[in-house]
Chain A
């Protein structure tokens, strides 16, 4: 299925430190999952292991690319310091 079931902000996902992955409930009863590594690679699709539904993850790609792990979106206008 190429249509996203929904779009969800990364701050609404629950982070599991053991698996280093973010989870959000799926209507089937299982959970959508996307790993921290996926996010660092710029991925934005969270899939459910039990069904065809997929979520689009809304997050600030720049913040994940530089290796920072965040669980809440930053204030708008944050810029990387150029040295």
Chain B
């Protein structure tokens, strides 16, 4: 017996809220998920959410970017109007529709529909001033309103991610550009600071194109078209999932090795491949098309109420996420974790740092996410077939081609 109902998607947030970064019109911490139903969203679907040091950025399906939380460094992109906001504020200075956004510790990044990149928030300003003095600091590192980021030339930005004081951009052609602070080797260069986007040479990634990238506070994880995963940056808590490289570029700084060279982590190979497995079963029935991270993911409900998730477009859908100093990955349908583990965020039952990706119990996650020092996984649950109602959800974007031909 089937029932039809329209599924609506709501934004929930929880955790630290001293600056109003949960967007719930108050500044109390929330220990359980709570609806962030801001009137500013006007009922539109949220496409992308990202949390920074004390602020959040929320991107709607219509390409409008909103932000809430601390504005002490202009990271909300609304100028010096308010010191903080517990309400979602529209970043009106972005005139073009936005397709991607990221929040760093004290800065924010956005990509417009035409592939242009914008940056705001002065979190990198003091680093830049110290590193570039007596040269002036470029505007995109010292702005409280969205400022165009120069240096990509004619290339179009596709993905953007932010660390504590650095930025990473992936172009449509599969090239990685990095800029900001390089104190921990996170920019894969010998320069202590890069003021503008600088190309990471493909030779460092075995000549392959990059299809996905994510960043912790001081390390970077990149995935290539062939499924290889490379890591570089800070590694003293195991964040890189591998031993330090023994190249001559490895310096000792306060006992921390500066790991500038991207090195492949072979145990993470194929972390994007999980998504295509769902197509092999034949008894599936499409019940929903959901927006996740800007690309469509179909949630299919087979007779046994098992949920399988896969993407209509494998590009840009990396199954690796970074916290501040730890990481989660889905490889072959299983959950792996590595990095800093003092608060148990690697989920192995201990508080010892994990230096190589390790399986986390028997979890079969379909979606993973990290906060600074915590981890989350949405896992499929198999229920018995005594349940007699199946929710059928309307397709949100019927014009998107379905990955199912049967």
Q: Interface on A for B, CB 8 Å cutoff?
A: 3-4, 7, 9, 11-12, 14, 25, 27-29, 50-53
SS of A interface (majority): loop
Query: Given A11-B126, A29-B16, A51-B373, list of 10 further CB < 8 A pairs?
Result: A3-B254, A3-B255, A7-B254, A9-B130, A12-B126, A25-B53, A27-B323, A28-B324, A28-B372, A28-B373
With contacts A25-B105, A27-B324, A51-B343 taken as known, whether A9 is within 8 angstroms of B373 at the C-beta atoms is no
User: Would B372 and A27 count as touching, CB distance under 8 A?
Assistant: yes
Taking a contact as CB atoms under 8 Å apart, the answer to whether A27 and B217 are in contact is yes
Chain B: CB-nearest residue to A72: B126
B342–A29 touching, CB < 8 Å = no
Cα(A75)–Cα(B335), bound, Å: 51
Partner of B342, one of A3, A11, A25, A51: A51
State whether the Cβ of B364 lies closer than 8 Å to any Cβ in chain A.
Answer: no
Report B108 CB to chain A, min CB distance, Å: 15
Tell me the complex Cα distance, A14–B254, Å. Answer: 24
Please measure, in the bound complex, the distance between the C-alpha atom of A64 and the C-alpha atom of B221, giving whole angstroms: 41
Could you give 12 example pairs across A and B, Cβ below 8 Å? A3-B254, A3-B255, A12-B126, A25-B53, A25-B372, A27-B217, A27-B324, A27-B340, A28-B324, A28-B342, A29-B15, A29-B324
Does B374 have its Cβ within 8 Å of any Cβ on chain A? yes
Judged by DSSP, the binding face of B is loop
A29 to B54 Cα, complex, angstroms: 9
Residue of A4, A7, A25 contacting most chain B CB atoms (<10 Å): A25
* Bound: A11/B125 CA distance, A: 11
CB distance from B28 to the nearest CB of A (A): 16
Are B254 and A4 in contact (CB-based, < 8 A)?
yes
Assess A29 versus B374: contact at CB under 8 Å? Given A9-B126, A51-B343, A52-B342: yes
Which chain A residues lie closer than 8 Å to B278 at the CB level? none
Q: Which B residues touch A12, using CB under 8 A?
A: 126
Question: B371 in the interface, Cβ–Cβ < 8 Å?
Answer: yes
A50 to B324, CA, bound (A): 15
Q: What is the bound-complex CA distance between A25 and B16, given in angstroms? A: 12
What's the Cα separation between A14 and B372 when bound, in Å? 19
CB within 8 Å of A: which of B72-105?
A: 72, 105
Chain A residues near B217: list those with CB within 8 A. 27
- Chain B interface category by residue count: 20 to 34
B259 on the A face (CB < 8 A): no
B264 on the interface (CB 8 Å rule)? no
Contacts of B307-341 to chain A: CB distance below 8 A = 323-325, 340
Choice from A25, A28, A53 contacting B54 with Cβ under 8 Å: A25
Residues of A within 8 A of B105 (CB): 25
- Chain B contacts of A4 at CB under 8 A? 254
* Chain A residues, Cβ within 8 Å of B54: 25
Give chain A residues whose Cβ lies under 8 Å from the Cβ of B16: 29
Choose among B130, B323, B342 the residue with the greatest number of A CB atoms under 10 Å from its CB.
B342
Q: Say yes or no: A27 contacts B126, CB within 8 Å.
A: no
Interface centre among A7, A12, A29, A50 (most CB of B within 10 A): A29
Residues of B close to A50: CB separation below 8 A: 343
- A-B interface, 6 closest residue pairs, ranked by CB to CB distance from nearest: A27-B324, A28-B373, A29-B372, A29-B373, A27-B325, A25-B53
* Chain B: minimal CB distance from A25 (Å): 5
Given A27-B372, A51-B342, A51-B343, answer yes or no on A14-B255 (Cβ-Cβ < 8 Å): no
Q: Report whether A14 and B126 are in contact in the complex, using a CB–CB cutoff of 8 Å.
A: no
Residues of A contacting B343 in the complex (Cβ-Cβ under 8 angstroms)? 28, 50-51
**In the bound complex, what is the Cα–Cα distance between A52 and B340 (angstroms)?**
12
Of residues 158 through 216 on chain B, the ones whose CB sits less than 8 Å from some CB of chain A are 164
**Chain A residues near B126 (CB, 8 Å)?**
9, 11-12
Q: How far is the CB of A48 from chain B (nearest CB, A)?
A: 10
For B340, what are the chain A residues with a Cβ–Cβ distance below 8 Å?
A: 27
CB distance from A23 to the nearest CB of B (A): 10
Q: How far is the CB of A46 from chain B (nearest CB, A)?
A: 15
Q: How far is the CB of B84 from chain A (nearest CB, A)?
A: 12
